[in-house]
Amino acid sequence: MSLAVYEETEKEIDLAYKELNKTKIEKETSYILSQLIMVMMGTFKDRLKSITFDTHDLYFDEVFITSNKNKTALLNWLKRMIGMYHPIDDHEFGKLKVDLEEWYYQIGGRDIVFEYRDTYLLKPKETAEILGVSTVTLNKYVKRGFEYIPNSSQNRIPKHMIYLWKDPVYAIKVQMLFQEKKLRNQTPEERLKEVIKELLEFQMKYGAEFHKDAFPELDGDEINAIADYYEWEDLEEEYLELKQKVYGERKNGK
C-alpha cells in the first residue's frame, strides 16, 4: 500500500464515521479486511499458505462496526499494514495473527482459517522440549487453546506459539479466542458432554469426585502452583451452568 493510498483510505474512514454512514463503514471495513489478508499472504509467504474465510457467512455486526472501537481498529490496521513491509519475527507475526482473528470475530465473522507452511510448523515433542514441559502438559495446553494443526504431517505447532504462550497478554487472548470459537460451534448439549468427559478425567486421575476433595490441605499460595485445581474448579462451575441451561430448556419445552 502506497503512502497516497494510505492517506486517502484514512480520510475515507474518518469521513464515513463523521457522517455515520453505515454503508461506507461496511465498505471500508471490507476493504481493510481484504487488503490485510492480501498483504499478509504476500509478506509472510514463507510462513503462510493461505488465509481463508467464508464470505457468505460474514454478516457485519452493525453495533460493533459503527462503534469508535472499530474505527480505531481500522486506523490501527492501516498503520500495521505499512509496518508489515519490514522484517517481523515469529512473536510479532503471532500477535498479528491473533489480533486479526480477534477483530474478525468482533466484526461478525464466523470462522477464519490459517494454513501454514510445513517448514513453519514444529513437532509436538520438539515444542514440549523448547517450552521445558512434558508432552502430557503440552496436551493440556492444547485443550486450553494452544494452537495445534491436526494434519497428516508430524509438524503441527506454529512456531509463534512458543512465544505467545510465554506472553501473558497473548496467552490469555489465545485461550479466550479458543473458548469463543468453541461456543460458536457447539450447542450447550455438546459442550455439556465435553465438560462431563473432562471432569471424569480429573476424577479418575485424583480418585475424588470434586476438586476440593482432591486437594483438601491446599490453601493460599500452595494452590497457585496447582493448575489442575483451578481448571477442575472452572469445569465444575461450567457444568452447573450448562446443566441448568440444558435441562431448563428441556423442562420449558424449548
Q: What pLDDT score does 251 carry? A: 61
Residue 245's pLDDT band (cuts 50, 70, 90): confident
Question: From residue 91, how far is each of 86, 145, 170 by CA, in Å?
Answer: 14, 17, 10
Q: What single letter denotes the amino acid at residue 170?
A: Y
Q: Cα–Cα distance between 228 and 222 in angstroms, integer?
A: 12
Q: What is the DSSP letter of 25?
A: H
Length of the chain as a residue count: 254
**Weakest mean pLDDT among 9-13, 136-140, 231-235:** 231-235
Residue 152 has pLDDT above 80, yes or no: no
CB < 8 Å & 24+ apart, contacts of 81-86: 81/1, 81/35, 81/36, 81/39, 82/1, 82/6, 84/39, 84/40, 84/43, 84/44, 85/43
Q: How far apart are CA 1 and CA 43, in angstroms?
A: 12
Instruction: Calculate the average pLDDT of the chain.
Output: 87
Q: Is the pLDDT of residue 252 over 80?
A: no
CA 125 from chain centre, in angstroms, equals 23
Nearest CA to 205 among 133, 135, 140?
Answer: 140
pLDDT tens digit sequence for 224-233: 446 678 778 8
